[in-house]
A and B are shown apart, each in its own frame.
Chain A
């Protein structure tokens, strides 16, 4: 080191090779281009994600609002029960002419001449046809309302709803749109009187299938999905964990277990529609289970989810270091005790994360459910998993096939609800992983 300071220090001359041309400029241009492709690809991917979400949200956020018309309805006995037989014949209240009540209330509210039939029809068209069941339920629940006048909040018809939300272009020639000028005038009139207004749409969460968008909701479908998810959880978690424990901890390494291994990996990649065919042939056709029932859907989705859970569980078991096993075995614990007392609890966060992700996947699955008859028009809540029901994504599929503007809005709204479920589940999985993740 001393010779740094010594006078004999010489620095070598710069050789010719230092200045040779190795095409730096051209090569760096290529480098920059290559980088740009990469950034471009990522941005494009993120752009599509944003576009997808934007499509759904911009079309769907209005689905959570619904235009309602609050009218004082006079429950006249003459209309509901003209012959006074409701005490003896239960059918009277069920079949009464409730729309007439709405019509009269509208005529009074708008001050229309009741003899002008086209005008009256235009007016009644502004209120959803679902009002019949609404009023019926009020009367059946409490027959004492008959003879009284009560303000009732009715749903506006889908086109009026769309028009009021500004989704219909009113500059289009009147004959080419579904909302007529007269109705628009009334709409504005009612709105300024505070009778017609937008409010939070609870219906989309509670209603079942309906051919009328304003009365359609995902409640029934969501219950069907809930049934299926419970079945999937109850079956696939224990079976998946048991299978993984055997394969990872006990199974001898031979051709059979090798086959099972390959098989499970393949099952994870089999198209979901094939599981639908399996369910149709085995559960419905062979075992004679009911079509359209959540129990069949649950079983099909269980089979579909099992490989995912097994793969995740095996990874989680593998991640537990062998030292834990040796420690327990060294204390005289049996292999079974070692696994159930030490290895499994340590692997649990990983297993649960995998299970949640598998469940989230099953929740969004549509194709196999189409084949086992869950494309059903289900209006009422199923009482048990054996009854006909439908599922959230299937409901979305059915609505997506409807052309009306209001259904596009509903579909997007239903997708938002589905995505919120998925986000919550995935966030749960992430939190679980963060909270319990262990580094060995």
Chain B
């Protein structure tokens, strides 16, 4: 019985249980619903839950545990000569046994007995049936495979029987519980509450997953490259060509990538903060409701545009524009029409990223500024301050912590941004201070190291996780601090 059929059967039993439970409660109510503690639907649901939930849980556990048990049992049937070689050899043999086992199912009994007597070649027989074997088959594999198949078959029917039995038993048990005063609703609601809790724990699990997966992969990386070399190395040269050849593994210095990341983020903030902040101030303090209700959503459109579109914009518009204008400027000044800004450069990426960040700065700051109590504004205006004096001397200082928080959140976005820098910043990992030259970032290198064919054993691949955890820690630090500041700020004015 296949797993999906089994699932279907369980659901079917659940359905039947629902109606059975409902009918039983109705029968006990003697036609007066008010005799019941809970509505018949709850009784039905209660029975259905008892039918489905334990069976499904057992099924899930079984599906995870059984293959492990069968594998270890099959491993035990392998000849001692193989077992003593341990590790990879055993796994390889096991893999072959499984292929053979798959192949055996397609053979007739005569063919199998021919194989067992050694008169037919295992590999060619199986190949004729469309099953490819990684190596020449050994005779012992046939017995092991037969053992494997037998266990699997037993496992299948045993699993089906046990699970179905549990489903039915659960349903019967629950039906017997039904009585007029039985608190079916409370029981059902407890299960509902349980599932709500499970759902909210996914948020935690995601974080745990992020941290655990990155730590373990990065841990493997650090067994090959020392953390000191990674965190303080100033040369990034992973030597992709040598990947897999085992030998020299290249240099994995984080510093040039970090420098590029921070430099580009800095240029982006330099561009976005004044524009975003002034836009927010104007929106919050000066703009008429009409202007506000059109300009604000329009600016926020910038935040809804996917970053890949910004990358494209950098690639076809901003980059070439900066390159050409720099050539013109150079020509006007020196007569030599040589561009001094590269199409892919820190400024290109920075400006385009800055454009993307404008709405973040402006809407976060707008929220913060409008939270400054009206009383402070009135207090200043009532003393005869102009609006701009009020903004500069009272509102901004009062809103400063909140704005700093907002800017930190924006900075964390700039640091983690990927698609713009992939297309606009370049891939050259170097340390320099000329913003007109390309530099690269942590995110670009994560993408570079993980696209294409990869194996999870080489430092060239695993370094991406070390970079990932660095990025995660930086942005997490910025976020936690920023959210903390903003929260404190909100509480102050609530």
Query: Is A in direct contact with B (CB under 8 Å) within the complex?
Result: yes
CB distance from B85 to the nearest CB of A (A): 25
- Tell which of B193, B309, B317, B391 touches A51, judged by Cβ atoms closer than 8 Å: B317
B450 touches A371 (CB 8 A): yes
- Tell which of B278, B309, B472 touches A41, judged by Cβ atoms closer than 8 Å: B278
Q: Give the distance in Å from the alpha carbon of A30 to the alpha carbon of B446 in the complex.
A: 48
Specify which chain B residues have a CB less than 8 angstroms from the CB of A271 in the assembled complex.
412-413, 415-418, 443, 471-472, 475
Q: Give the distance in Å from the alpha carbon of A122 to the alpha carbon of B23 in the complex.
A: 81
B202 touches A239 (CB 8 A): yes
A45 touches B210 (CB 8 A): no
Q: Which of A244, A251, A280 has the most CB of B within 10 A?
A: A280
A415 touches B282 (CB 8 A): no
CB distance from A262 to the nearest CB of B (A): 7
The stretch among A61-69, A113-121, A281-289 that forms the contact with chain B is A281-289
- Tell which of B193, B203, B317, B418 touches A310, judged by Cβ atoms closer than 8 Å: B203
Number of B residues contacting the other chain (C-beta, 8 Å)?
A: 87
Specify which chain B residues have a CB less than 8 angstroms from the CB of A415 in the assembled complex.
308-309, 312
Contact flag A336-B479 (CB < 8 Å), given A27-B389, A35-B286, A267-B203: no
Specify which chain B residues have a CB less than 8 angstroms from the CB of A48 in the assembled complex.
302, 355, 358
A31 touches B386 (CB 8 A): yes
Q: Give the distance in Å from the alpha carbon of A244 to the alpha carbon of B472 in the complex.
A: 25
B359 touches A45 (CB 8 A): yes
B282 touches A270 (CB 8 A): no
Residue of B nearest to A22 (CB): B384
Question: B58 at interface (Cβ–Cβ under 8 A)?
Answer: no
Q: Give the distance in Å from the alpha carbon of A265 to the alpha carbon of B412 in the complex.
A: 13
Specify which chain A residues have a CB less than 8 angstroms from the CB of B216 in the assembled complex.
281
Which residues of chain B (384-404) have a CB below 8 Å from chain A?
A: 384, 386-389, 391-392
CB distance from A302 to the nearest CB of B (A): 9
Specify which chain A residues have a CB less than 8 angstroms from the CB of B283 in the assembled complex.
38, 42
Question: A264 at interface (Cβ–Cβ under 8 A)?
Answer: yes
Question: B299 at interface (Cβ–Cβ under 8 A)?
Answer: yes
CB distance from A307 to the nearest CB of B (A): 7
CB distance from B311 to the nearest CB of A (A): 7
Specify which chain A residues have a CB less than 8 angstroms from the CB of B204 in the assembled complex.
259-260, 263
Q: Give the distance in Å from the alpha carbon of A243 to the alpha carbon of B49 in the complex.
A: 20
B203 touches A307 (CB 8 A): yes
Residue of A nearest to B283 (CB): A42
Q: Give the distance in Å from the alpha carbon of A259 to the alpha carbon of B450 in the complex.
A: 32
Residue of B nearest to A401 (CB): B423
- Tell which of A238, A263, A281 touches B465, judged by Cβ atoms closer than 8 Å: A281
Residue of A nearest to B189 (CB): A336
Number of A residues contacting the other chain (C-beta, 8 Å)?
A: 87
Question: A370 at interface (Cβ–Cβ under 8 A)?
Answer: yes
Which residues of chain B (74-104) have a CB below 8 Å from chain A?
A: none
A260 touches B308 (CB 8 A): no
Specify which chain A residues have a CB less than 8 angstroms from the CB of B309 in the assembled complex.
52, 56, 364, 396, 415, 418-419
CB distance from B308 to the nearest CB of A (A): 4
1/0 per residue, CB under 8 A from B, across A384-399: the answer is 0000000001001100
B199 touches A246 (CB 8 A): yes
Contact flag A246-B200 (CB < 8 Å), given A31-B386, A31-B388: yes
A370 touches B196 (CB 8 A): no
Question: A375 at interface (Cβ–Cβ under 8 A)?
Answer: yes
B450 touches A41 (CB 8 A): no
A260 touches B200 (CB 8 A): yes
Q: Give the distance in Å from the alpha carbon of A51 to the alpha carbon of B480 in the complex.
A: 35
Specify which chain A residues have a CB less than 8 angstroms from the CB of B450 in the assembled complex.
276-277, 280, 370-371
B279 touches A41 (CB 8 A): yes
Specify which chain B residues have a CB less than 8 angstroms from the CB of A138 in the assembled complex.
none
Q: Give the distance in Å from the alpha carbon of A360 to the alpha carbon of B186 in the complex.
A: 39
- Tell which of A27, A41, A52, A306 touches B274, judged by Cβ atoms closer than 8 Å: A41
Question: A355 at interface (Cβ–Cβ under 8 A)?
Answer: no
- Tell which of A238, A272, A336 touches B418, judged by Cβ atoms closer than 8 Å: A272
**4 shortest interchain CB distances as A-B pairs:** A271-B416, A38-B282, A364-B306, A281-B213
- Between A and B, 13 residue pairs with Cβ closer than 8 Å are A31-B389, A41-B282, A42-B283, A46-B295, A49-B298, A242-B196, A250-B196, A267-B203, A274-B210, A274-B214, A364-B307, A366-B307, A396-B308
Chain A contact residues, CB within 8 Å of chain B: 22, 27-28, 30-31, 34-35, 37-42, 44-46, 48-49, 51-52, 55-56, 59, 238-240, 242-247, 250-251, 259-260, 262-267, 269-278, 280-282, 285-286, 303, 306-307, 310, 334-336, 360-361, 363-367, 370-371, 375, 393, 396-397, 400-401, 408, 411-412, 415, 418-419, 422, 426
Given A270-B416, A418-B306, 13 additional A-B pairs, CB 8 A: A22-B384, A40-B278, A45-B362, A242-B198, A246-B197, A274-B472, A278-B206, A278-B209, A334-B186, A396-B312, A400-B315, A412-B312, A419-B305
